[in-house]
Amino acid sequence: MSKITLDVKDLSVTLAGKKRLDTISCQVQSEKLTMVMGHNGAGKSLFLKALHGLIPLSSGKIVGPERTDAKLVFQKPILLRRTTEEVFKFIASDCTNTEARDWLSLAGLSDHLQHPARRLSGGQAQKLMLVAMLATQPKLLFLDEPTAHLDYESTAFVENTLKTARADGLTIIMASHNRTQIKRLADHVLFLDDGKLVDDQPAADFFSAPRHEAAQRWLDFA
């Protein structure tokens, strides 16, 4: 029987008087990559933030790792006014200098250690944030469309790094709108429509037999 990293029961979020996430219940399997999908405005980003504790719940309950054991990589990295190496060490403060440089080398950033992090390209910045979060050895990693607007090389790095992390036992929850990427990476799919969870099944089953018309429309036009 699969282990469960996150157990979500009747999660709802109301903002400005409008229910944005509506009574969502699901379980996230350990050591799997669960993909959060849906049309624009379905609530994917809000759902990730709620799961990570960045937005208070209006009702419901989440049982899972402590927030300190979970990390979130945003679509657009928020970088401090520090060098690339200093940003990494700020996030992964327990890493030794040697470990930090090994991680940055893995991301192809060895020549940018002392460069201002804010001058990195979009792909370089995303690779920096990903390896820094992984270096903290989280139990759970959230990613909000981490490869949106990235070039092929950066996208390939992110995907291959996530595959390795999953193989090493990390539980990953990721939002994406990229159909081919979802097919390459996803073990399980959570499909949101207008703030409601309308499909929840293994990725292979989702692509062959979606359970909701909104999911079918997404597949027809994705």
> Minimal CA–CA distance to 141: which of 13, 55, 52?
52
What is the three-class DSSP state of 12? strand
User: How do the pLDDT tens digits run along the chain, 222 residues long?
Assistant: 679 999 999 999 999 999 999 999 999 999 999 999 999 999 999 999 999 999 999 999 999 999 899 999 998 887 888 999 999 999 999 999 999 999 999 999 999 999 999 999 999 999 999 999 999 999 999 999 999 989 999 999 999 999 999 999 999 999 998 999 999 999 999 999 999 999 999 999 999 999 999 999 999 886
C-alpha–C-alpha distance, residues 38 and 196, integer Å: 10
- In the chain, where the domains are located: 4-79+138-221
Instruction: Return the pLDDT at 154.
Output: 94
Cα→Cα distances 46→40, 69, 75, 220, 222, Å = 12, 20, 13, 25, 21
Residue 119 CB contacts under 8 Å (≥ 6 apart), including other chains = none
C-alpha–C-alpha distance, residues 206 and 133, integer Å: 30
C-alpha–C-alpha distance, residues 38 and 58, integer Å: 22
Instruction: Return the pLDDT at 7.
Output: 97
Instruction: Return the pLDDT at 1.
Output: 60
CATH superfamily of 4-79+138-221: P-loop containing nucleotide triphosphate hydrolases (3.40.50.300)
